[in-house]
Amino acid sequence: MEQVVIAGGGPVGLWLAAELRLQGIEVTVLESRTEPDPHSRATTVHPRTLELLASRGLVEPFLAEGVRIPGGHFAALPPRLDFSRLDTPYPFTLSLPQVRTEELLAEHLRSTGARLLRGHRVTGLEQDDDAVTVHVLGPDGPYQLRTAYLVGCDGTRSTVREAAGIGFPGTPASAWAWMADTVLDAPPPWRSVSNEHGTVMIFPLPDGVHRVVGNDTATVRTKPGPLTFEQLRAKVLGITGTDFGMREAGWISTFGNASRQADRYRHGRVLVAGDAAHSHFPAGGPGLNVGMQDAANLGWKLARTITGSAPDGLLDSYHAERHPVGVELLRSTHAQSGLMIDHSPMTLALRDLLAELITGVDEFSDELAGRAAGLAAAYPADPADGAHPLTGSRAPDLRPAGAAGGPGLFTLLRAGRHVLLDLTGRAGPEFAALAHATHPGVTVAGGPLAASRPAWRGVTAALVRPDGHLAWLTEEQHLPTLVTAAHAAVTATTAHPAAAIPLH
């Protein structure tokens, strides 16, 4: 019997499979396409996704191929969101076609020993208390697989979600836009315009190609048919007053603003992630990024559940933590779609006001920037339980003070284990003994890693989850009490409690 079967070999399914393999879980990925789709709807890699890649030692190939675009945008407003003030090593958006993202992730996955079967399409399923029977149509005909868990990463029309009986409520498309990959002889110095005629955004892709995205007032509420190159060129010209020397388009597509979310991310032994869990207007390009964060959240939890080292309720926390993130995703993209689709004088005035706030109020701009970059997602714990305010937030790339070139937190996370940080520099022997006594174990690092960050001042120890979020923090100064608290925090992450740790 398979341990995990993943339906869908896009970025989310590939990343989830790699996360499971990092934990030693056997994985089979079933992808209906025989080759990656050369036409990339998703081209935007956000800073948080780059951090996830860095936390597994995979970011360099992406940086080498992608085009770095300073900052991000909100609703295609002309002033860019400034990422330079964000606490990340990657203060930019990376423009990279999804086909290359898939190819790079597939190359990594093959190195882990996972099975990626192309031309194999999931057609149905049945589950019982012990396993899931997956019905598959492969190149040689139909067959079945028996697996402990099945994860649907198979897109907005997910067969897995529908066959499992997971609801997908929301709203149908009421407005439409278009996108194209074009060659421009005179690309603009700016990247967006919105007026009474419509909206156009233009940004670079590798190899001299530009992605053009937009909608026009005359047809925004009418579901379009296939768009020709001349029609596309005329729309851009009508909105901006120029065609920027547009002389060819390798791919033209249309899309709507339908907005839906799975009502539960887990049903028994079946789970959903990525577009199978949430569908939305692609304002700011968050879909691929939020999906990969779904996978990062789910991977270590599912692995712990399969190996029997998970505390009670760990797998259920996948829905509890990621569903609210999906709610916020739909709220944000819905709001942005309204600002991008409605070209009435009132909406244009609102756009002007928001543009002034982004330009003139740093706190407002920084809040939007953190959300757009993917850095704001958090899984807050109840303060009534004594949790530190930072609990559940994403941990930055903490680095040892004064240790030039020393490993930062993202490097320490590469093994996919919890990382226990001794920020006092005094609890090293006790923390090392604690790590040795635990199953599946933690990585220990020490030193004043966070002294320069105001929110971290006073923190003496922290436990970081494999997905880079903070499981526990303390400001306890008394060493015996500190070690006891760390022991309790580490023990809470596993079904096999650690032995008591003597003080040295």
Q: Where are the alpha helices (DSSP H) in 67-214?
A: 98-112, 159-164
Label the pairing between strands 115-118 and 27-31.
parallel
3-state SS of 60-104?
HHHHHHCEEEEEECCCCCCCCECCCCCCCCCCEEEECCHHHHHHH
Q: List pLDDT tens digits, range 253-295.
A: 999 999 999 999 999 999 999 999 999 999 988 999 999 999 9
Confidence band for 503, pLDDT divided at 50, 70 and 90: very low
Contacts of 397-406 spanning 24+ positions with Cβ under 8 A: 397/51, 397/54, 397/88, 397/89, 398/449, 398/450, 398/456, 399/449, 400/447, 400/448, 400/449, 401/447, 401/448, 401/449, 401/451, 401/452, 403/447
- Between 114 and 451, the higher pLDDT residue: 114
Q: List pLDDT tens digits, range 61-114.
A: 999 999 999 989 999 999 999 999 999 999 999 999 999 999 999 999 999 999
Q: Helices 287-307 and 11-22 sit at what angle, rounded to 10 degrees?
A: 30
Between the CA of residue 254 and those of 215, 382, 420, what are the distances in Å?
10, 43, 47
Residue 232: its H or E element: helix 229-240
Local structure of residue 469 (DSSP, 8 states)? B
Say what the pLDDT of residue 9 is: 97
* Choice among 154-163, 267-276, 345-354, 487-496 with the minimum mean pLDDT: 487-496
Say what the pLDDT of residue 98 is: 93
Percent of the chain's residues with pLDDT above 90: 77
Give the integer Cα–Cα distance in Å for 71 and 79.
10
Confidence band for 399, pLDDT divided at 50, 70 and 90: confident
Say what the pLDDT of residue 504 is: 29
Q: List pLDDT tens digits, range 173-194.
A: 999 999 999 999 999 877 889 9
Q: Is the pLDDT of residue 501 over 60?
A: no
Confidence band for 447, pLDDT divided at 50, 70 and 90: low
The separation between the first and the last C-alpha atoms of the chain, rounded to the nearest angstrom, is 47
Distance of CA 387 to the CA centre of its chain: 25
The answer to whether 254 touches 264, Cβ cutoff 8 Å, is: no
Q: Where are the alpha helices (DSSP H) in 413-478?
A: 428-437
Please list, in sequence order, all residues whose beta carbon lies within 8 angstroms of the beta carbon of residue 187, skipping any fewer than 6 positions away: 202, 204, 210, 244, 245
Residue 180: its H or E element: strand 176-184
Domains annotated for the chain, with CATH where assigned, are 2-171+259-372 (3.50.50.60), 176-256 (3.30.70.2450), 383-491 (3.40.30.120)
